[in-house]
Amino acid sequence: MLSAKMIERLNKQVALEHYSAHLYLAMSAWCDHNGLAGSAAFLKAHSDEELAHGRKLFDYINETGALAVIGAIDAPPIQYGSLKEVIEKTFEHEKLITRSINELVDAALSEKDFSTFNFLQWYVGEQHEEERLFMSILDLFSIMQPEGRDLYLIDREIGSKLAR
């Protein structure tokens, strides 16, 4: 059984994962609007992944007999200056999610809520992968010029990461 504080924390994470889904979907729209089809497809698929992260938490909360709540979700930004800025923001956002997951893990351990602690280990591993993925995309901008033909190649490379 979850403590009231833990239910609140987990529900906040559900909202954060949904915000992530909306953020990446908005970024996908910006990319599509600016002729960056590879990045648009990648970010749209990643938005779906974030929904799955939220759903997994939602199911866990309900399985314990607590009530999962879909809270208010802020509208994400829709304007970006460049693809590089979009990717920098995804990486910053993933680091924020990692901090949030780490705080949840810490709270579960402090409460001796070992079931939630165990459940959250999946997210710990997932955040490692997510940060690595977005960092590898960011690296593309340090080896290529974010304009002209290189921008086309960067966009194509981002699109190729869809299934990884």
- Report, in angstroms and rounded to the nearest whole number, the Rg of the chain calculated over CA atoms: 17
> Per CB under 6 A, does 155 bind ligand FEO?
no
Decide whether 48 or 63 has the Cβ nearer to ligand FEO.
48
> Per CB under 6 A, does 18 bind ligand FEO?
no
> Per CB under 6 A, does 9 bind ligand FEO?
no
Candidates 6, 36, 97, 108; binder of ligand FEO (CB under 6 A) is: 97
Please report the sign of the dihedral spanned by the C-alpha atoms of residue 37, residue 38, residue 41, residue 43.
negative
Phi then psi for residue 144, to 5 deg, are -135, 160
Closest CA to 29 of 43, 45, 49: 43
Burial degree of 110 (CB within 10 A; 0-12, 13-18, 19+): exposed
> Per CB under 6 A, does 161 bind ligand FEO?
no
> Per CB under 6 A, does 50 bind ligand FEO?
yes
Q: Which of residues 54-93 bind ligand FEO (CB under 6 A)?
A: none
Token pair listed for 90 = 């995804």
Q: What residue ranges bind ligand FEO (CB under 6 A)?
A: 17, 20, 50, 53, 94, 97, 130
